[in-house]
Amino acid sequence: MTSTRPASRAPLGAAGLVLAGLFCQELGASFAVLLFPTVGALGMVALRLVFSAIVLLLICRPRLRAHSRRDWLTVTGFGLTLAAMNVLFYEALARLPLGAAVTIEVLGPLLLSVIVSRRAASWLWAVLAFVGVALLSRGGLEELDPVGVAFAAGAGVAWAGYILMSARTGARFPKLDGLAIAMAIGAIVTLPFGLATSGSALFSPAVLLLGLAVALLSSAIPYALELLALRRLAAASFSILMSLAPAIAAIAGALVLGQELTLISGFAILLVVAASAGAVRSASLHARRQADQAVPVP
C-alpha cells in the first residue's frame, strides 16, 4: 500500500516556506527602519535595490541581446514601477508603524483582484478591508501621519502596477531575467537620489552590511522561498498565505522595533487579512466553477 503521508505533508512544508519568506521580508523592513536615521528612506531604497540587483544579476545572468524595443519598454516600465513602489513604501515606513504601513499597502492588490474578478460580491471583501483600515486609524493609532498614509496608499497602487507589469515582463523574458533587469533599472534610477540625501554615510561599512542584509531578507531569500513553495502549493493557497503579510508585519514591528500593537489595532489588521484571504478564495472558487462549466458534458 502506498503511503500518502509525504503528499499530505507537502502543502504544510510549502506553507512553511511562504511564511518563512514573509517573516524574512518583514524582518528586512524592520532592519531598514533602523537605518533611516543614518541614510533616510531614499538612501535605504537605493541600498536595497542596488544589492538586490547585484544578487539577481549574478544568479540569473540575464541575456541582454536579441530583445525587441517593446521588450525593453516593458521591462523599463517594470523597473520604474518597482522603484516607485519601494520609494513610496519606505517613505511610509518613515512615518508609520510597520504593521499599519503594510496593512494600508495591501489594499492595492486587494482592489486589483476585486476589479479583475468583475463580481459585485467581491466588493464586500473590499468594504471589509476598508473598515479594517478605518478602525486601524482609530484603534490606538490616532497619531497616524496623513502623509505617511498617503505614501502607503500610493505604495499599494504601485504594488498593483507591479503585479501587472511583472506578468507582462514574465511573458517576454525567461525565468527571472526580467526581474533582474528591472531591479537593475530601479537601482540606477534611485541611486542618485540616495546619494543626494545620504552622502558619504551610504558608504559606511556598517551601513553597507545592513543594506546587504535588508536586500537579502527583503528580496533574495523571499523570492527563492516563494519559488520553491509554488512548485508544491496551489496559486490560490499561496495567495491566501501572502494575505498574512499585515499580521506578520505587525508582529515584526512589535518584536524588532518595539512598536505598540493594541487590541483594537490588532483586530483591524485581522479584518484586512480576512478580507484579502476571502477575496482570493472567492476568486478561486469562481474560476473553478467557470472551468467546470466550460467542460463539455459527454
Query: Per residue in 37-72, pLDDT tens?
Result: 999 999 999 999 999 999 999 988 998 888 999 999
The pTM for the full model equals 0.83
Give the Cα separation of 251 and 260 in Å (integer): 10
Q: Which residues of 167-186 are buried (b: 16+ CB within 10 A; e: fewer)?
A: ebbbebbeebbbbbbbbbbb
pLDDT at 283 over 70: no
DSSP state at residue 139:
S
DSSP state at residue 158:
H
pLDDT at 3 over 60: no
pLDDT at 237 over 50: yes
Which residue is associated with the grid cell 540616495? Answer: 194
pLDDT in tens, 158-201: 988 988 898 899 889 988 899 999 999 999 999 999 999 999 99
Q: How confident is the model over 220-242, as a mean pLDDT?
A: 77
Domain boundaries, the chain: 10-294
Query: 112 with 281: CB under 8 angstroms?
Result: no
pLDDT range class, residue 5, cuts 50, 70, 90: very low
